[in-house]
Amino acid sequence: MSIPAAYIGVILIWSTTPLAIQWSGDEVGWLFGITTRMCIGVLTGLSIALLFRVRLPWHAAARRTYLAAGLGMFCAMTLVYWSARYIPSGWIAVLFGIAPMVTGVMAHIWLRETALSAARITGLLLGVAGLAIMMIGTRALGAGAALGIAGMLCSVTAYSASAVAIKRIGADIPALATTIGGLAVTVALLLALYALAGEPLPVRIPLRAALSIAYLGVVGSVLGFGMYYYVLRHVEATRVALITLVTPVIALLLGNVLNGEVVHMEVWIGTATILAGLLLFEFGQRMNGWKARLQEILIRRTPAP
């Protein structure tokens, strides 16, 4: 698969995932929704691996990769499903928009992959400002919205830590193997959580919830994570996280059109501020280089007096 195709695929899948997460918990509970999704995901992944004879390595680096991926999936996705009870689906993608900045800081500390220049620090501050603006919009959603935002921030931290950990391990294993191994760890943890929580099985599963769970299990989990880990192997961790620069706006529009979610002005302003911070974080330093090159070209072409 070409890297650009996988990159675009992740964008499309992650843009539709927040709304599917909202729908997957209809009348069945969020814990049932995520546990069923991940079970479907690991079974689908194993079927594909058997069909295409993809080997699942079991050396030390591979096992560490599976553990890092699984712990990241479990923490990040569980918190996303829990938070989705308190905030609109579009907010999930917006709050995940700070992932490149969190990943950038972690990559700087653990991978020495990026430098925290003045432009990057300014981008981080803009991201924080965008979050503060969005907090103003929580007044229309009630007190629970603050809990949802806090849960999403913890989810982003877990996601970023997992991505950086996988890059640091650097195991040369197939992306599908990483996906299956991570899903297997996640399923084991979710089944344990389900048993400890004492959640009863739902009496009936509405059609929309069933279709959403199936979509998330097959497309969102196997295909989405498979493409994600494939891109992660070939691209810098911060560039992979840059996918979340595009998904927030698409997710907000989908939530508004398909789920009747009202998008207040504070949300749009906060989203724009976060995205501006992301652009500055990723391209601010390069813009200075481009500016210097342009000035050099103009000086060369300017005739002497």
pLDDT at 128 over 60: yes
Q: What's the pLDDT score for residue 117?
A: 81
Give the pLDDT band (50/70/90) at residue 118. confident
Q: Which helix (H) or strand (E) holds 137?
A: none
Q: What is the mean pLDDT of the chain?
A: 86
b/e per residue, 22-43, with b = 16+ CB within 10 A? bbbbbebbbbbbbbbbbbbbbb
Helical H segments across the chain, by residue range: 3-24, 30-51, 60-83, 89-95, 99-110, 118-136, 144-169, 175-197, 207-215, 224-234, 237-241, 247-259, 265-301
Count CA atoms closer than 13 A to 304's CA, side-chain side: 0
Q: What's the pLDDT score for residue 299?
A: 53
Rounded Cα gap, residues 32 and 18, in angstroms: 16
pLDDT at 46 over 90: yes
pLDDT at 78 over 90: yes
Residues 209-230 pLDDT 10s: 999 999 999 998 888 888 888 8
> 């072409």: which residue's tokens?
301
From residue 71, alpha-carbon distances to 76, 120, 157, 161, 237 in Å are: 8, 28, 12, 10, 18
Percent of the chain's residues with pLDDT above 70: 90
Q: What's the pLDDT score for residue 175?
A: 85
- Mean of pLDDT values over 131-141: 80
Q: Which residue has the higher pLDDT, 53 or 283?
A: 53
| Helix pair angle (99-110, 144-169), 10° resolution | 40
Q: What's the pLDDT score for residue 304?
A: 45
Total number of residues shown for the chain: 305
Rounded Cα gap, residues 96 and 228, in angstroms: 15
What the block records as the tokens of 15 is 């843009």
Residues 153-203 pLDDT 10s: 999 999 999 999 998 998 889 888 999 999 999 999 999 999 999 888 999
Question: Considering only CA atoms, which of 232, 152, 217, 234 is closest in space to residue 183?
Answer: 217
